[in-house]
Amino acid sequence: MTTITRDDITKLAGLSNLHLNDAEVHSLQNDVAAILQYVEQLNELDTEGVQPAYQVTGLENVTRSDTVVDSTIDREALLSLSAEIKDNQIKVPKVL
């Protein structure tokens, strides 16, 4: 069985940007140890011949071809819809 030390918990807390007091470190140490103990129980199961289940819903990625569709609207017509134009571009307020 893997032993979870106080240093392991404080390192995990630091990586997670958590600030824990002593009671929380102790509680988390017990919780992580219990989780690892459960995982070790799962490792005892006989999974010989069991196929991994990567996708259980039967859904597949639906993709479409990436094709360019010619538009009948020209640049000038689109620019004319804008409130303000400068140098043949749409002028927008500066955002910093």
Domains and CATH numbers, the chain: 6-43 (1.10.20)
Check: CB of residue 25 under 8 Å from CB of residue 10.
yes
Place of tokens 């990436």: 66
User: What is the reported pLDDT for 52?
Assistant: 84
From first to last of the 96 residues of the chain, give the pLDDT tens digit: 578 999 999 999 999 999 999 999 999 999 999 999 999 998 888 989 988 887 778 888 888 888 888 888 888 899 999 999 999 899 998 898
Check: CB of residue 41 under 8 Å from CB of residue 35.
no
pTM above 0.85, yes or no: no
User: What is the reported pLDDT for 20?
Assistant: 94
Distance CA 49, CA 85 (A): 67
Sequence letter at residue 87: D
Check: CB of residue 33 under 8 Å from CB of residue 4.
yes
Q: Which residues pair with 85 in a beta bridge?
A: 90
User: What is the reported pLDDT for 31?
Assistant: 94
